Chains A and B, each alone.
Chain A
Amino acid sequence: MKKTKKRITKIMMHFILLFLALFQLFPLFVLFLNSLRADVEIKKFPIGLPETPSLVNYVETWIKGGYAVAFRNSILVGACVIAIVLFAASLAAYGLAKLDIPGKAFFIAYFMMGMSFPTFLYIVPLYYNFSQFGLVNTRLSVIIIYSAGYIPFAILLIRTFLVGIPKELEEAGKIDGCGEIGVFLHITVPLLKPILATVSLIVFVWCWNEFLWSNTFLTTDSIRTVATRFYKFTSEWSKDLAKIYTAGVITLAPIIVLYLALQKSFIEGLTSGAVKG
Chain B
Amino acid sequence: MEKRRKYSTRRLVCLLFILPAFLYHALVVIIPSLKTVYLSFFDWNGISEPRFTGLQNYIEMFTEDTVLPIAFKNTMVWTLIFITIPIILAIFVAVCASKVKKTSLQMFYRTVYFLPYVLSASIAGKIWSNFYNPFYGFNTLFERLGWEKLSEVLWLGDQKIALFAVAFVSNWSWWGFVMVLFISALQQIDPALYESASIDGGNSWDCFLHVTLPGIAPTLVFVISLSLMWSILSFDFIWVMTMGGPGQATEMLSTWIYKNAFVSYRAGYANAICVLQSGIVLLVFFANQKIRKKVEDIG
Contact = CB atoms under 8 A, between A and B. Distances in A.
B53 interface: no
A143 B119 CA distance: 20
B92 to A, nearest CB: 8
A88 B20 contact: yes
A205 interface: yes
B126 interface: yes
B22 A92 contact: yes
Contact of A91 (B21, B111, B144, B261): B21
Contacts of A256: 115, 118-119
A210 B277 CA distance: 21
Given A27-B128, A125-B271, A45 B140 contact: yes
A14 B120 CA distance: 29
Contacts of A126: 28, 32
B146 to A, nearest CB: 15
A46 B24 contact: no
A25 interface: yes
Contacts of A152: 25
B298 interface: no
Contact of A205 (B118, B138, B181, B278): B118
A152 B26 CA distance: 11
Given A20-B93, A99-B14, A271-B180, A148 B100 contact: no
SS class, residues of chain B in contact with chain A: helix
Interface stretch (A56-64, A189-197, A241-249): A241-249
A17 B126 contact: no
B126 A124 contact: no
B165 interface: no
Interface residues of B, number: 87
B164 interface: no
B120 A255 contact: yes
Nearest to A9: B204
A102 B11 contact: yes
A209 B117 contact: no
B120 A208 contact: yes
A110 B33 CA distance: 14
User: Which of A122, A126, A131, A230 has most chain B Cβ within 10 Å?
Assistant: A122
A230 B114 CA distance: 23
Interface stretch (A75-83, A164-172, A258-266): A258-266
Interface stretch (B80-88, B152-160, B206-214, B228-236): B228-236
Contact of A121 (B13, B124, B261, B278): B278
10 residue pairs, one from A and one from B, having the closest CB atoms: A95-B17, A148-B28, A209-B120, A211-B122, A92-B21, A122-B32, A88-B21, A125-B35, A99-B14, A121-B278
Interface of A: 13-14, 16-17, 20-21, 23-25, 27-28, 30-31, 42-43, 45-47, 87-89, 91-92, 94-96, 99-102, 107, 110-111, 113-114, 116-129, 131, 144-145, 147-149, 151-152, 155, 180, 184, 205, 208-212, 215-216, 226-228, 230-231, 234, 241, 244-245, 248, 251-252, 255-256, 259-260, 263, 266-267, 270-271, 274-275, 277
23 contacts: A30-B131, A43-B135, A101-B15, A107-B22, A110-B22, A117-B33, A123-B261, A124-B274, A125-B267, A129-B35, A145-B28, A149-B28, A209-B122, A211-B240, A215-B122, A216-B262, A228-B122, A230-B126, A241-B130, A241-B136, A255-B119, A259-B115, A267-B180
